[in-house]
Structure 1
């Protein structure tokens, strides 16, 4: 997909966005009007034109999107780096079916760009581990991803 601009997720990228993964979201800060970048992991693409993700209701992301609805999700997948931009909205103030108070955000995709610098590829995808009870983390992750898919 290098140097191409798509208006929706290509098949391989859509497939990558079916499970929890590391990504970043860039929004416009509601107080400073400057850029704000946050790491997220609970995100799913229900269609090739939309990404849904869950964040704590108190997250700055929620307030930022309420003020300026443009956002960019950045992910590393398929040996490259992708910038997925679009219009975001708080679809649910409280995601149903989850014990935590999480907001559901939907990003309607306008543009997908492969933004990896020339002549290179991602050789190792980022990995992370939850630093709290692994059993509780796995249970919560499953619950949140299922709730996002049902929304």
Structure 2
């Protein structure tokens, strides 16, 4: 996909974004107008045009999206790095049946780019561990992913 700009998620990227994974999201800071980057893991691609994510509803991400809807998600998958840009809106202020106060945000995808530098590929995927109670983390992850799918 190098040097091409797609207007939607490819089939392989859609599959990668239908499970919990590490991504970064860049928003425009509502106070400074500069970039603001956060790491998130509750992300779900509904279809080739829509990606949802859940974050604490007090997160700066929510304030930023409320002021400027332009966002970019960076995903490392399939041996490369993708930049997925679009416009975001808060779909749900507080998700139901979740023990945390999470907001659901939906991005309408308008550009997907392979941004890996020339002549290289990712040889190992990003992995992370939850540092709190493993059973509680798995339960919460299931609840959030199920809620994002249902919304």
SS in 2 for 1:99: coil
Structure 1: distance between partners of 2:131 and 2:6: 37
Question: Residue deviations 1:18-55, cap 9 Å, x none?
Answer: 11000000000001110000000000001100000000
Question: Which residue pairs with 1:81 in the alignment?
Answer: 81
The separation in 1 between residues aligned to 2:122 and 2:109, in whole angstroms, is 23
Match of 2:6 in 1: 6
In 1, distance between residues paired with 2:95 and 2:53? 10
Question: Superposition RMSD on alpha carbons, in Å?
Answer: 0.5
Q: CA deviation at 1:93?
A: 0.4
SS in 2 for 1:12: helix
1:149 equivalent in alignment to 2:149: yes
Looking at structure 2, the residues matched to 146 and 104 of structure 1 have their Cα atoms a distance apart, in angstroms, of 12
TM-score (norm 1): 0.99
Aligned to 2:100: 100
Which structure 2 residues correspond to residues 1-151 of structure 1 after superposition, within 5 A?
A: 1-151=1-151
Q: Give TM-score, length-normalised by structure 2.
A: 0.99
Runs ≥4 in structure 1, deviation > 2 angstroms?
none
